[in-house]
Structures are given as structure tokens and as C-alpha cells.
Amino acid sequence: MATATRTPSAAVNGAAADTPMPPGLRHADDSKPGYTRKRERNGFVYYDTNGKRIVDKDVIQRINSLAIPPAYEQVWICPDARGHVQATGRDARRRKQYRYHPQWRETRDADKYERLAEFGRALPRIRASVARDLKLPGMPGDKVIAAVVQLLDTTQVRIGSVEYARENQSYGLTTLRKKHLKIEAGQLRFRFRGKSGIEHDVTVDNPRIKRIVQRCAELPGHDLFQYLDEDGARHTVGSADINEYLRRASGADFTAKDYRTWAGSVFALAALRKLVCESAADARRHIVATVKDVATLLRNTPAVCRRCYIHPEIISAFEADQLQSLIPGQSRRGLKVDEVALAMLLAQAQKRAARLARDARGKVRKPPAGDSIDRSLTDLLKKSRAVRKNVGAAQEKTAARNVRRDSDVRARRALKEGSAEVKRAAQ
């Protein structure tokens, strides 16, 4: 069945540019004509792009397998079974929902996990940049953006989007309002409703961040995170500002979402490598409990966290009793001990994958040995044909000699017989 995900329209339409399209799939765009549905007494009927009712059982089965909720409105269904987006619709809150092709979802998840090792290598550079920019004088953009990145790194709160704040009154770091902030006992306390209506209550005890956030709160306007440009004009920090900062600091195309994947994976590894399993059933129980803890940390469901926020290599290594061997002596500059352990695990996985890829390429190429055998056989056949040709020529020469010899013998015999006949006649 296709998976459901809420994503802003622009992100979906541009998704194929971020991740290579899997073989067999095609980019789908719901701004183009698609199938529609209409409710009838016994359910829904579907219509093609020409407005004709669809009666093909295979097409109907594909649409039904998408499990589009009955309450969705403005439903668009991809006419192509190979489209990376299979359907879109609006839920009761008018939020746009998506049904993706399973192969596309798998590819996106795999791509995200592959880049996690790269993110771990870039994280020290990002943190060093944040530390420098937090010390900047005044309230310039880089300073305030660095403060938001620091909160992103330490609180695991989503970055937020203007669309969700406007349509759903759900917030993230960049869309927080001043009303969401309280300062209690010298600490920052953020209380707000996040995605899916989940209530957040986040406390931050960082003196430098506290001073910056307090100065943000003193600026006019209801948005919390604002900065002043060189002319003194106010600007609100948006998710695009955060992602651009991460790209500049890391030198790579990382986004705020990579922080949540990194945090979920680090937490899971830290929890699991402390556990000892007596049996496979024991391991499964520990995994289920850890996934639930990660879901609490990231404020998401266990199913989503297991699929999207915990690197599968962690689960595999735990089941194989290999996590305990990841014992980094100490933290590295810019990485904590558990983060170093995750970096080690991902590096091992990358080396193993590279080795398997080389072996696979070697197997494809190994027919060099076979090719050389084929060439040897070809040469042997050529030589064999040459030998046969030479033998044939020799046989022909021998036959010719034999013919000439037989002719000579017959001629001499005939001559002798002729001479004898002449003698008898003379007598």
C-alpha cells in the first residue's frame, strides 16, 4: 500500500530533483489532469481524465489499494501506476495530503540514511560555525539564525513552516510567537502546539541562547525570532534561512530535517548498546521499547520513527550483538561520545557497502577470466582450422602424387604389355 505523508506542495513537485528517480517510476505532478472520484451509495466510483467512468478492474484495484480516506476532498489520482506521487487530497483541515508510490518512499528513505554519515562528518563544522556566530555583536542575521540552529540541535523540535502555522495553528522553531515563550527560574520555556496537534513543553538552560532570545523578544512584532540588518530593518527568520545557513556552514546540501534523523539514530544507538540480550525475543522487546523512547523524544509515532528516524544499521548491529564493540575512547571535537559511536558504525557500514559494490563489479567483470578462455578457444579453433587446412592441402598433394604415380605405373605397364605384343606379332 502507498504511504501517506504531509508535505508542502513545492517540496513534492521538486522532490524528484533531490532524489534520483527509481528505475520504472516517473515524476508525477497533481497540477496536471488526473483521475477523480465521486461518492455513490455503495462507495466511490472513479473517472478518467476524459470524464468517463473507470471500469477496468486492475485500475480500480490500484486506486483502492491507495487507501485514500473517504473524508478527503479535491482528490487527484495519478493516471500512471508508475507515478512517484499516486494521489493527493485535502483533509478536514484543508491540509494537502499525499500518497506516494512505495518504491519512491523506499528510495527517499534510503537516500536520507546514506547522507547521515556525511552529516555526521559535517556536524563539527556546523557547530563550530554556530559557536562563532553566537558571539557576534548586535543582532545580525547570522547570530539569530545560529541561535535557532543551536536550538534545533539540542531540542529536536521541528523547524516549522508558515503554511502549517497559518492553516493549522501548529508551530515549529522558525514560526514561534512571543506568546509561546516564558522565562522561568532563569530558563527559557517554550510551550506551543506542534505538528499533528502535539503539545510541546521545552526548557532550555543556555545562558548565551537565553540572552539572544530575550533580545529577540524585545523587538516589535509577534514573531519571536527576528534579526536586524545593517540598516536596522527587522526580518523574521524562516526555514529557508536555516537551510541556507546549514549549507554554508557544512559545504553540503543539508537541511534541518537531517538533525532529527541524526538525533533519533544517536539516541537509539546510545540506548541499545547498553543492553544485553539473552534471546532473540529479548532483543525484539528492547528494540520496541527503544523505538517508543525515540518517538517520545521526537514527538512522533513509533512506526514513523522506526522507518524514518532510526538508521536500520543500528537495529541490524544490535540484533547481531555488535553494538557493544563500538566503544570510542572519548568524544571528538564537535561530537559527543555516542555521536562518535554512530559515526564509527556508519563508517563501517559504508566500507562494507563499498566492498560489496566492488565485489559485485568484480563479478560482472570476472568474465575476464571467461573472456580469456573464450579468446583461447577462439585461437585454438583458428589454429585447428589452419591445421585442418594444411592437412587438407597435404592430403591433396599426396593424393595428386599418388594419382601421378598410379598413372606412371599404368603407363609403364601398358608400354611393357604393348612391347610384348609387338614381339609376339613379329614371331
3-state secondary structure of 386: helix
pLDDT at 408: 57
CA–CA distances in Å: residue 399 to residues 404, 410, 411, 413? 9, 16, 18, 21
Contact 326, 273 (CB under 8 A): yes
Highest mean pLDDT range out of 22-31, 297-306, 324-333?
Answer: 297-306
The yes-or-no verdict on residue 157 having pLDDT over 60 is yes
Residue 235 phi/psi, 5-degree rounding, is: -140, 140
Determine the straight-line distance between the first and last CA of the chain, rounded to whole angstroms. 120
Q: Quick: pLDDT tens for 184-242.
A: 888 999 999 999 899 999 999 999 999 999 999 999 999 999 999 999 999 999 999 99
Q: Quick: pLDDT tens for 43-66.
A: 899 999 999 999 999 999 999 999
Of the candidates 241, 217, 206, 245, the one whose C-alpha atom is nearest the C-alpha of residue 139 is 217
The yes-or-no verdict on residue 1 having pLDDT over 60 is no
The yes-or-no verdict on residue 173 having pLDDT over 70 is yes
The yes-or-no verdict on residue 169 having pLDDT over 70 is yes
The yes-or-no verdict on residue 113 having pLDDT over 90 is no
Rounded to an integer, the average pLDDT of 161-170 is 90
pLDDT at 8: 38
* One-letter identity of residue 293: D
pLDDT at 389: 52
Model confidence at 397, pLDDT cuts 50, 70, 90, reads low
CATH of 134-253, one of 3.90.15.10, 3.40.50.720, 3.30.1490.190, 3.40.50.970: 3.90.15.10
pLDDT at 22: 79
Paired with 73 in beta bridges are 90
208 or 383, higher pLDDT: 208
Model confidence at 327, pLDDT cuts 50, 70, 90, reads low
Model confidence at 42, pLDDT cuts 50, 70, 90, reads confident
pLDDT at 360: 63
What own/partner pairs with CB < 8 Å and gap ≥ 24 does 149-156 have?
A: 149/242, 149/245, 149/246, 150/206, 150/209, 151/204, 151/209, 152/242, 152/256, 152/259, 153/127, 153/259, 154/204, 154/206, 155/202, 155/204, 156/259, 156/260, 156/263, 156/264, 156/297, 156/298, 156/299
Of the candidates 188, 187, 165, 184, the one whose C-alpha atom is nearest the C-alpha of residue 176 is 165
The alpha helices in 309-336, defined as continuous H runs, are: 312-319
The yes-or-no verdict on residue 335 having pLDDT over 60 is yes
195 or 362, higher pLDDT: 195
CA–CA distances in Å: residue 312 to residues 119, 343, 371? 16, 14, 39
Give the per-residue SS3 of 396-411: HHHHHHHHHHHHHHHH
312-319 and 280-298 helices, crossing angle to 10°:
150
Model confidence at 318, pLDDT cuts 50, 70, 90, reads very high
- Determine the Cα–Cα distance for residues 350 and 346; give it in Å rounded to an integer: 6
Of 125-139, 194-208, 220-234, 349-363, the one with minimum mean pLDDT is 349-363
Residue 90 phi/psi, 5-degree rounding, is: -110, 130
CATH 1.10.132.120 positions along the chain are 259-348
Paired with 89 in beta bridges are 97
pLDDT at 107: 76
Contact 77, 63 (CB under 8 A): yes
- Determine the Cα–Cα distance for residues 283 and 319; give it in Å rounded to an integer: 6
pLDDT at 317: 92
278 or 32, higher pLDDT: 32
The yes-or-no verdict on residue 378 having pLDDT over 60 is no
pLDDT at 358: 72
* One-letter identity of residue 363: K
Give the per-residue SS3 of 271-313: HHCCCCCCCHHHHHHHHHHHHHHHHHHHCCCHHHHHHHCCCHH
pLDDT at 51: 94
- Determine the Cα–Cα distance for residues 362 and 368; give it in Å rounded to an integer: 9
46 or 424, higher pLDDT: 46
The yes-or-no verdict on residue 95 having pLDDT over 70 is yes
- Determine the Cα–Cα distance for residues 267 and 93; give it in Å rounded to an integer: 33
- Determine the Cα–Cα distance for residues 277 and 290; give it in Å rounded to an integer: 14
Rounded to an integer, the average pLDDT of 417-421 is 53
Which CATH architecture is the domain 259-348 placed in? Answer: Orthogonal Bundle (1.10)
Mean pLDDT of the chain: 83
pLDDT at 151: 98
Model confidence at 298, pLDDT cuts 50, 70, 90, reads very high
- Determine the Cα–Cα distance for residues 374 and 350; give it in Å rounded to an integer: 36
pLDDT at 9: 38
Paired with 46 in beta bridges are 37
CATH 3.90.15.10 positions along the chain are 134-253
Question: In sequence order, what are the residues at sequence separation of 6 or more whose Cβ sits closer than 8 angstroms to the Cβ of residue 144?
Answer: 212, 216, 225, 226, 227, 237
CA–CA distances in Å: residue 309 to residues 153, 298, 392? 15, 9, 76
The string over 124-135, giving b where at least 16 C-beta atoms fall within 10 Å of a residue's C-beta and e elsewhere, is eebbebbeebbe
Q: Quick: pLDDT tens for 402-411.
A: 545 555 555 5
The yes-or-no verdict on residue 17 having pLDDT over 90 is no
CA–CA distances in Å: residue 314 to residues 280, 310, 427? 16, 7, 123
